[in-house]
Amino acid sequence: MEISKLANPELGLPNSTFLRSPLMTDSYQLTMCYAYWKGGIHLKKASFELFFRKCPFQGEYTIFAGLSNVLKFLNGFRFQESDVEFLKTIIPHAEPEFFDFVRSIDASLLTVTAMKEGTMCFPSEPLLRVEGPLAVAQLVETTLLNIVGYPTLVATNASRIRLAAGKDKSLLEFGLRRAQGPDGGMSASLYAVMGGFDKTSNVLAGQLYGLPLSGTHAHSFVMSFKGLDDVKNAFLKRNATASSTSSSEELVDLKKLVLEKKAQLKIDGTQEGELAAFISYASSFPDAFCALVDTYNTLKSGVLNFICVAIALVECGYPAGSVRLDSGDLAYLSKEAKKLFARYAEISGCAPLKSAKVVASNDINETTLNALNEQKHEIDIFGIGTNLVTCQSQPSLGCVYKLVSLEDFPRIKLSDEVAKTTIPGRKIGYRLFGADEKPLLDLLTQVTGDDGAHKVPKAGERVLCRHPFEESKRCFVVPSHVECLHELVWDHGKCPLKSLPSVEEIRAFVMRQLDNTRCDYLRQHCPTKYKVSLDDEFYTMMHQLLLECTPIPVLDI
C-alpha cells in the first residue's frame, strides 16, 4: 500500500507488513461481519472496549503500550481487491452486495478513545474504546488485541525489571536472538525501552525506532585468538584528553604497552589468547571497551587480563571500560572483580580503574535481580534477553475486546465467574490523587450521548467511589487533583493528536509514574491491590442492568 493513499500520511504504516492487511484477523470476525450484514444490523452504532482482567506477573499494575501501531494500523485499514477475492473463497455463498460493502470499509467509519501510551493501568479499565458501525468495529478486534497485548506485556515486564534493578543501574535489551520471530524481536526491543530499558542490541530497532544501541563481543571472539601473535595492527592514537606531553596524534603500540603493564603488575598465568582478544577489541573500540571475562577463568584470567588492558587504555587517555559476566555466581564475581579493580588501581596508581564497570547477563529476570540485591551485588549494568522478550513467567496478557453498548444502550456479559462479568456501557476513567499527590484510585464514570457527556470528578469535592461488584466496598474520596485517563485519538479517519510522543518521552512518562506510585503497589510479592471504582450513578445503572439480564431460575421441589 502506498503511503500517499493513507488517511494521514504523517502517521505512516506499522513496521510489520502483517499489520498492513485487514486479513490479519481470525476468520470468525469475517463470518460475524457477514452475519451482521445478512441480518441487517451491520450499521448499528456499537461501542467495544479493549481491556484486561488481571495484571500480569502476579503484580498490581500494567503499562499500556502499542497505541502508535494501533493508529498506524487504522490509518491503512482497507480491503484491497485481492483481499476481497480471497474472501469470496471463504464465504462463497455470500451475495455480491456483501463484497461491495466490504470494499467500502475503512477506518473513517470509526472513532477511538484511548489511554496515553505508557499509562499505568489496571484491570477492567478500557485501554481503547472503539466506536462505529457494528460490523466494522467488530472486524478490528483480533488485530487490536494483537497490537496491544504483547507490547503492554513487554513494557510492563521491562518496568518491573527496572524497579528490581534500581534507578542507578543501566539496562540493556539483549533478546533478539531469543524472541518469537522477527516481529516479536522488533516489538520487544521497542517496548522494552519504553518500559524502562536504556539501550538495545537490536540494530534494526536502532535504525527504525531511533533506539540507543549497545553491543560488545561473544565468547567466539575470545576463542578466535590463540596467542599474542594473532594480534595485528593494535595501534592506538593517544586521546587528546590524555595527560601526556606526547602529541595526541602519536600512535601507541597497545600490545606492547599492555605487556609492559602486565609485567609491572606481576600478573602471570592468564590465558594468552584471551589477552590477545582483549587487546584487539580495545584497539578497535577504545572508548567503549567491554571484555567478556568468563571464557576460561573469570577471576584468575579474564578480570586480570582486562585490568592490564584497562590500565594501558587509561594511560592513552581512554576510559577503563567494563567487564561482562555471563556465568557463575554473579553477586560473588561482581564483588571480587571490584576488589581486584581497587587493588590494582592502588598498585598501579591508575585511579580510573577503580571505577570500571561490571556488566552481567546470563538468563537474568526480576526474581534473580531481587536475589542479587539481597546478596549486595556490585553489578552496574544488566544485559537481559530471554526472560524479558519472551515474558517467560507469563507469556500472554489476556486482553479481551467486548461489546459494551449498542445504539447507546449498555450491554453486559454475565458469567458464573465474577471476574468475567463485564462492566457495561461506554466509560471514561479518572485518576484521583491524595494529599501526598500520589494516586488513590481510578474512577470510571458512564459516558452518555454522542457528545461524550459524563460526570467529571473535581478536585476538592467529595465523591462516592464503589467497587464494581461488591456492594459493601465503597469509600468517599476528596481528591487533591484529578487526571483524565482517556483522550480521543482517532476521529473518523483523522488523528486529532498534534504529534505522537517519542520513545524517550514515553519512557520518561513511565518512570515518572513509577516514581509517584506507592511502593506497596509496586512490590514483587503480595502487592497491595489498587482500586478501580465506579461512581454511584454508574454503579446503580450497572446493577439494575445486571438484574434485568440475569434469568430467574425456577426450582422444582
> What CATH number corresponds to the domain at position 327?
3.20.20.70
CATH code, 513: 3.20.140.10
- Both 524 and 440 in a single domain? yes
Q: Are 52 and 399 in contact (CB under 8 A)?
A: yes
- Both 374 and 401 in a single domain? no
CA distance 287 to 275: 18
- Both 226 and 362 in a single domain? yes
Residues 116-133 have pLDDT tens digits of 999 999 999 999 999 999
Residue 170 in any domain: the answer is no
DSSP 398-432: -EEEEEEEETTEE-----SSGGGS---S-EEEEEE
Residue 2 — pLDDT band, cuts 50, 70, 90?
A: very low
- Both 285 and 434 in a single domain? no
Q: What is the pLDDT of residue 557?
A: 66
- Both 405 and 360 in a single domain? no
Residues 409-426 have pLDDT tens digits of 999 999 888 888 999 999
Residue 114 in any domain: the answer is yes
Residue 334 in any domain: the answer is yes
pLDDT at 394 over 60: yes
pLDDT at 242 over 80: no
- Both 144 and 226 in a single domain? no
Q: Of 351, 379, 407, at which residue does a domain stop?
A: 379
DSSP single-letter state for residue 247: -
Q: Which residues of 318-327 are buried (b: 16+ CB within 10 A; e: fewer)?
A: bbbbbbbbbe
- Both 276 and 403 in a single domain? no
- Burial category of 72 from C-beta neighbours within 10 Å (exposed 0-12, middle 13-18, buried 19 and up): buried
- Both 399 and 373 in a single domain? no
- Structural domain including 349 reads 216-379
- Both 325 and 366 in a single domain? yes
Read off the C-alpha cell for 115: 489511554
Read off the C-alpha cell for 204: 534494526
- Both 236 and 147 in a single domain? no
Residues 130-154 have pLDDT tens digits of 999 999 999 999 999 999 999 999 9
Tally of helices (H runs) and strands (E runs) in the chain: 18, 22
- Burial category of 335 from C-beta neighbours within 10 Å (exposed 0-12, middle 13-18, buried 19 and up): middle
Residue 121 in any domain: the answer is yes
Residue 203 in any domain: the answer is no
Number of domains in the chain: 2
Residues 141-187 have pLDDT tens digits of 999 999 999 999 999 999 999 999 999 999 999 999 999 999 999 99
Cα–Cα separations (whole angstroms), residue 118 to 15, 61, 486: 20, 12, 12
- Both 221 and 335 in a single domain? yes
Q: Of 355, 379, 403, at which residue does a domain stop?
A: 379
